[in-house]
Amino acid sequence: MAELPDLEVFAQILTRRFKGKTLKELEVMVAKKLNVTSAELSKALEGKKLTAVSRYGKTLHLHFGEQVLQVHLMLRGELVALEKGAELPKYVILAFHFSGGEGFAVVDMLRAATPTLNPEPANAPDALEMDLDYFTAVLA
């Protein structure tokens, strides 16, 4: 299971490699956990630039302009780099193909990884945002 520090590093790597690139194609291989149809997800994200990648709790947030795709890797989910022209690995949930030919895939042999388009805003503090000032205010 990816822990908070892992997800922070994943967000940094995805930002470094893909920020500013246009999503040319999104392949949805497993749609059962989506909150929208595969077609709606592709229509919402394809042709848009990845503007930011962030982490909130145990999820990654991929920002494509006004659209946000939240990805929860669950217990066994992983991110796998996709090189130009290479075959997809086994157990792909989503495959992101960007301008320039590179991309990445969300892979999960248990098929439990959960993508959510435009998730509801969180109403709880993030675990890494709680500091002395936060606890002082809460306990005052």
pLDDT in tens, 9-32: 999 999 999 999 999 999 999 999
Domains of the chain: 4-139 (3.20.190.10)
Which amino acid type is present at position 136?
T
Locate 43 and state its tokens. 């229509």
Return the pLDDT at 113. 98
Give pLDDT, residue 96: 99
10, 61 in Cβ contact below 8 A? no
Q: pLDDT tens, 73-119? A: 999 999 999 998 889 999 999 999 999 999 999 999 999 999 999 99
> Is residue 95 within 8 Å of residue 88, measured between CB atoms?
yes
Q: Does residue 14 contact residue 64 with C-beta atoms inside 8 Å?
A: no
Look at the alpha carbons of 120, 124, 125, 127 in this order and tell me if their dihedral is positive or negative.
Answer: negative
Identify whether the C-beta of residue 99 lies closer than 8 Å to the C-beta of residue 21.
Answer: yes
Query: Would you say 104 and 82 are in contact if contact means Cβ atoms under 8 Å apart?
Result: yes
- Output Rg (C-alpha) for the chain, integer angstroms: 16
What the block records as the tokens of 115 is: 């993508």
| DSSP letter, residue 21 | -
